[in-house]
A and B are shown apart, each in its own frame.
Chain A
Amino acid sequence: MPGTERVKVTKERWIKGLFSVFAFSSLFFLLLIFAFILFEGIPLFQKMGIGHIITGTKWAPTKGHFGIMPMIISSFLITIGALIVGGPLGLSCAIFLSEYAGKRTRLVLKPSLELLAGIPSVVYGFLGVVYIVPAIREILGGPGFSLLAGSIILGVMILPTIVSISFDAVRSVPDAYREGSYAMGATKWQTIYRIVIPSAKSGILAGFILGMGRAIGETMAVIMVAGNALKIPSSILDPVRTLTSNIALELAYATGDHRLGLFSTGVVLLIIIMILNYIANFGIRRRLIR
């Protein structure tokens, strides 16, 4: 029946077209977000000068000061802190899962890690306020709402990202490498330390950098535990405000230049996150795939 055949082909074409429209819509939304943030954020850079905003240390938007330097520094410090907390933990977990864990252990551990990624950030923030902040205040001093509290919470939050990507990287090291090492008389730990980790290095690094991207973009939990003070911190017990917190804290009230200032904060954040993702996806991962 040639008639039905033709109908089938047309239908196939339609379905293909429909799906490609949906597929490209994600690109469209990305461009839309980009254009929107730049469109709203650039005018203030033009008005105040890039130097005033990027290197200024004073943020008082209702009085004409738009310096976001302290927040850039705080964002980086809190992210590095999160990596110090979450990095070793995540990597050890990935190595355990890949090299030591039996099938059944992995079947329990992997899904529970994925569950960790699904917990809403406000829950992490709440746990931080109730347990971590008072503990820091009592043991180490200071207000408790601090760079340290933020780093600990973020360190836990980025675990799933670091574990799953490092796990893939460690898994993708060919078994022949391991067997070669064993044949030379190396122990299991020597093999992991000297062969597996160096071979998976770029994938592990990509996991860390994507974890950084997640940490620097996290908002709710950080607002709740980091204290949001505007000063450049002089110790890990000082309260800090990150770029994301700044936007979320003040957007509800902002008008005029204040609002534009928050969009400028958004532009800086967007650029930082793009650079990180670029490094993770193209700089490192591509080399891994090759």
Chain B
Amino acid sequence: MRSPPVLILVLCLFCLFSCSKKGGNLDGKGKQIITIAGSTSVLPFTEKLAEHFMKDNPDYIVDVQGGGSTAGIQATLNGTVDIGMSSRKLKEGEDLNQITICYDGIAIIVNPKNPIENLSLREVREIFSGAIKNWREIGWVDRRIDAVTREEGSGTRGAFEELVMKGKEISDAIMVQDSNGSVKEVVATDPYAIGYISLGIADKRVKIVAIDGVKPTVDLIKVGRYNLVRPFLYLTKGEPDARVRRFIEFVLSKKGQSLLKSEGLIGAWD
């Protein structure tokens, strides 16, 4: 009676062993592993870059994870990851080597049913500070504005506070969502909503409004006409070693940069 379970156990172990051996050829010795973590705004683009980098450099493995700008900065400081991703500027005490890989616009978005095409920066600020509460006040229907912001600590929120709020506080009556995707989802489904997300992520389900008459496009950002722009940063603890440098050089190369530009971002050299 005892032998079948033992047999099964042995079989299981054998399978496990053989599996891990098979996997071993892929990520075992001889392969260089680069670990990256941080901002969820930078994440999708880094994943794309890593994919192409690994195709060109089959002896490298790039492991990319999210977690948020602050988590990325912390992980880099602790040395748990090789590269941290951040969509906000570093604070005091966060002494890291920073590389700007590209720039990203912040788009103010409303529902496609909303007829408003243009807002002044001051109007956006007053909507989010709670001074303007009704769409009627800016020339639409008599209906409460359903503004959506990001959670405390988010890189996109940090950039929005710096570029739009300019010292004014975001009202506590405003809805909070925890990713670019869920802000977009709320705005896409609620005709009376307004929010802000990374320009590269905005699509046809939402309408991007012009700020002070300027609709954000890559060209207008390049010439400095649209000002809601923030850098996407790669952070390393001290100077990167040859292994990490190889990936960063790829990102800053013509190929890496054109990949980023095709995603709607603005290149580091523009």
Which residues of A are interface residues toward B (Cβ below 8 A)? 58-62, 70, 129, 133-134, 137, 141-145, 223, 227-231, 238-239, 241, 249-250, 252-255, 258
Contacts and interface: CB of A to CB of B under 8 A. Distances in A.
A157 to B, nearest CB: 20
Interface string B175-201: 111100000011001101100000000
Contacts of A227: 175-176
A60 B152 contact: yes
Interface stretch (B67-75, B121-129, B230-238, B255-263): B67-75
Contacts of A143: 144, 146, 175, 190, 192-193
Interface residues of B, number: 28
Interface of B: 66-71, 74, 144, 146, 151-154, 169, 171-178, 185-186, 189-190, 192-193
Given A228-B177, A252-B66, 9 more contacts: A60-B169, A144-B190, A145-B175, A229-B175, A231-B171, A239-B175, A241-B176, A253-B151, A253-B152
Contacts of A223: 178
Given A143-B146, A258-B153, A249 B176 contact: yes
Contact of B70 (A59, A133, A239, A255): A255
Contacts of B176: 227-230, 241, 249
A230 B174 CA distance: 7
Given A61-B152, A252-B67, A229 B190 contact: no
Nearest to A143: B146
- Of residues B172, B174, B186, which shows the largest number of chain A Cβ atoms within 10 Å of its Cβ? B172
Nearest to A61: B152
B122 to A, nearest CB: 22
Contacts of B186: 145
- Of residues A61, A133, A241, A252, which shows the largest number of chain B Cβ atoms within 10 Å of its Cβ? A252
5 contacts: A70-B172, A129-B185, A133-B189, A227-B176, A255-B70
